Structure 1
């Protein structure tokens, strides 16, 4: 009877899907925000593994996992869930997370978004992908579709969890019946991390606006020199209309540089970007995100 009463009381403390979505959004901000900070300071794991194999990886996933595990251990919730006052409990009993559930929750919170982000980045950059990578991307599509179905069932009060991962771990999100018991230093430390949530959101906003400024063309495009002012030998090497400025051949897979506006072959601009990191014509610094594929109508 006591257990049944506890379950009924627990089911009444159900958060709305909007609060759950806001918590997930905040969790998803941690990795990209930390990546921008670490990239700015040049902080990366860089060491030789064996032979000619070298590991060059960022610290963001590791720090993200440590942060999430700390919150799951102390408050039985992720960083974003704790910020919105939510708590992970067992679906059947309402008990808090076990040590195994804390570890698996932190790993899934960090690993799945990281792998999906890496796979989509490789696919967007047209790098040579393996068959298993394409299959993994398809699995992520299936997972996202399954999550949408779970969200709908949770919205109409038909399911106790909003995500297939929560269902697999036999967990659900609830409002805690009483505040977590923490010592003074743990409380201050976690409160400081929650204040940093606004800092994470600011970094993400700044980065998105910086990308928007790049695409908007805040840099002034250079004025081309009149051909009559150029030497004869240089005039003969100028690309004609429809030719790539790098290979001087007809454009293949035309790709525009959003920073300068010049159009190149995809392979030419990517090879030059990997070697120089600049626009071949203007020498402006560019990245792979500054390249825009052009499709003919």
Structure 2
């Protein structure tokens, strides 16, 4: 059974079709980038609301514009989205000729714009719909609208129907992935089917063409002012998109590290390391010269041999002295009088009894 599952999920060496693991991984990549950027913007907005508050208020719109610029750059340059190119994949037209073109040639115009809209617009609308449902549920929970209003009946019906609509949407994706695993479909996602494209792996010719192609290369020399302005705008947008994509490529590994660091398994490991037992006091004091400084009564200061006044502990060793005695000693000797550990005045900790 395990061998059968391995053959179903892993593509053969001669097949250009990516495995289901590669396809799902590239789908989840961009889904992980947005929450990370959202958390960063939230921290900036909370630290300085006057300067960065608008970023948090218009985060969805700013993100969709940056995403549009990024995906447009990669679709035009690599025939793939950012995440697909990151995993070494490209898009080809389903109804096109059998001969595959290079990734640098780009998609047909119709498939290009359909892919761009489905990559950027659908996640944006889905996120807005989820926020709307969340706000409506809060209003319904706290009864903000009058019970007899027609609006309340409408959004209650909407809230009742939304789970079934969302289940249908997610089930559509699940069935498409199962058909892809079983070899009954060319697409692992309905969005690819709607765009009229499918995913294949990059070939050696594609990689060579991508390496030799310059981001801002032009095919001819333009002389008109309008053409020069358009070329400058394209170069500026391509530069911004290239910088954004490079930063995202580096950030992907950082996000994966944070995901591992804050995982439940890793937190259990950190907790077990930080909950080690407290080490015992220095054993060399039992027979060393420093043991002669320790009085028999625990309320006596080891320095002045009198009842402690303003008890003060050393954070480096844990022994307790009079404040005046230990302050004068540490200031002059820079060490603990019992253990000899290096000590500074900042390591003095005043102890307050319930009577004080």
If the TM-score is normalised by the length of the shorter chain, which range does it land in?
A: 0.5 to 0.7
**TM-score of the superposition, structure 1-length normalised?**
0.54
- In structure 2, do the counterparts of structure 1 residues 157 and 65 end up closer, same or farther at CA, with 3 Å as the change threshold? same
TM superposition shift of 1:100: 4.2
Task: Measure the CA separation in 1 of the matches of 2:260 and 2:121.
Answer: 24
- In structure 2, do the counterparts of structure 1 residues 200 and 64 end up closer, same or farther at CA, with 3 Å as the change threshold? farther
Which residue number in structure 1 is paired with residue 87 of structure 2? 84
Which residue number in structure 1 is paired with residue 122 of structure 2? 112
Check conservation: 1:151, 1:163, Cα contact below 8 A.
Answer: yes
TM superposition shift of 1:169: 1.3
Q: Matched residue of 1:88: which SS?
A: strand
Report the count of equivalent residues: 194
Aligned counterpart for 1:199 among listed residues 254, 262, 275: 254
Check conservation: 1:33, 1:203, Cα contact below 8 A.
Answer: no
Task: Measure the CA separation in 2 of the matches of 1:61 and 1:207.
Answer: 27
Task: Measure the CA separation in 2 of the matches of 1:101 and 1:21.
Answer: 21
Aligned counterpart for 1:39 among listed residues 39, 42, 46: 42
- In structure 2, do the counterparts of structure 1 residues 118 and 151 end up closer, same or farther at CA, with 3 Å as the change threshold? same
Gaps of 5+ in 1: 1-10, 47-54, 214-297
The structure with the largest helix share of the pair is: 2
**TM-score of the superposition, structure 2-length normalised?**
0.46
Deviation string for 1:134-168 (max 9, x for gaps)? Answer: 65664333222111111111111111111111111
Check conservation: 2:111, 2:196, Cα contact below 8 A.
Answer: no
Answering whether residue 199 of structure 2 is matched by residue 173 of structure 1, we say yes
Larger Rg: 2
Q: Matched residue of 2:138: which SS?
A: coil
Q: Matched residue of 1:12: which SS?
A: coil
Gaps of 5+ in 2: 1-13, 46-51, 141-154, 217-237, 269-356
Check conservation: 2:71, 2:81, Cα contact below 8 A.
Answer: yes
Deviation string for 1:244-281 (max 9, x for gaps)? Answer: xxxxxxxxxxxxxxxxxxxxxxxxxxxxxxxxxxxxxx
